[in-house]
Amino acid sequence: MVHLPEKLLNGYRNFMAGRYASETSRYRTLADDGQTPETLMIACCDSRSAPETIFDAGPGELFVVRNVANLVPPYAPDGEYHATSSALEFAVQGLKVKNIVVMGHGRCGGIKSVLGPTHEPLSPGDFIGKWMSLLGPAAEAVSGNTMMTAGERQTALERISIRFSLANLRTFPCVDILEKKGRLNLYGAWFDISTGELWAMNPVTGDFERPRLD
């Protein structure tokens, strides 16, 4: 009796014969000493933009939150369950990460869903509709511009959402304080699935630019 999809088991076999075999001591050390990742990555669930793949990151390097459209809600200490804020708090206060990267990507389905036309909720709970409504005002400003193509509106909102999440990150007192002390750095990035291009946000202007790799 097999208790996992065959494809995953095959992949796991490759992992054991490959990466784990060649990095056994690294895994053991990480298990014994605990993790000390330098970077918290806030990324999208999308199957095409895994941070470990795009940044060729090994075990122990990236502490990764993934939700639809890589959103950070604003600071709301209201006693509710907050998946993203919890991970943020754990990474910043518990693990003392040095960097937070919000990484968006092209052709994001979550972003597309708020640019209309209006859809029926995916289920009666309409969780995704509520979640993406965090971007409501920005989506409205973009979707009204019919002189931009659908693709341009999509890219524009993807990038706005990264700046939105970065701004929300700074509403968390711990992030704000540590950044001002120079002990925490915030970054924005956007990945183009088709071309593989990575665009990094210029922290001064907010523009996304191709980093010079040479």
Site for its own copies in 10-39 (CB under 8 A): 11-16, 18-20, 24, 27-28, 30-32, 34-35, 37-39
What's the rounded Cα separation, in Å, for the pair 187 and 201?
7
Minimum distance, C-beta of residue 89 to its own copies, in the bound complex (Å)? 5
CA-nearest of 124, 111, 86, 214 to 164 is 111
What's the rounded Cα separation, in Å, for the pair 130 and 169?
20
Q: Tokens 């990742």 label which residue?
A: 37
Phi, then psi, of 167 in degrees rounded to 5? -65, -40
Q: Give the nearer residue to its own copies in terms of CB position, either 16 or 183.
A: 16
Site size toward its own copies (CB under 8 A) is: 131
Q: Which of residues 93-132 bind its own copies (CB under 8 A)?
A: 93-95, 98-99, 101, 106-107, 109-110, 122-128, 130-132
Amino acid in the structure at residue 2? V
Q: Give the nearer residue to its own copies in terms of CB position, either 48 or 170.
A: 48
What's the rounded Cα separation, in Å, for the pair 71 and 167?
11
Q: Give the nearer residue to its own copies in terms of CB position, either 116 or 145.
A: 145
Max Cα distance, the chain (Å):
57
Is 33 labeled as ligand-binding? no
Q: Which of residues 77-96 bind its own copies (CB under 8 A)?
A: 77, 79-91, 93-95
3-state helix, strand, coil in the chain (%, to 5): 45, 15, 40
Mark residues 141-160: x for contact with its own copies by CB under 8 A, - for none: xx-xxxxxxxxx---x--xx
Q: Which of residues 188-207 bind its own copies (CB under 8 A)?
A: 188-189, 192-196, 198, 200-203, 205-207
Q: Report whether 170 contacts 176 (CB < 8 A).
A: yes
Is 82 labeled as ligand-binding? no
Q: Give the nearer residue to its own copies in terms of CB position, either 5 or 117.
A: 5
Q: Where is the binding site for Zn(2+), in residues? A: 44, 46, 105, 108
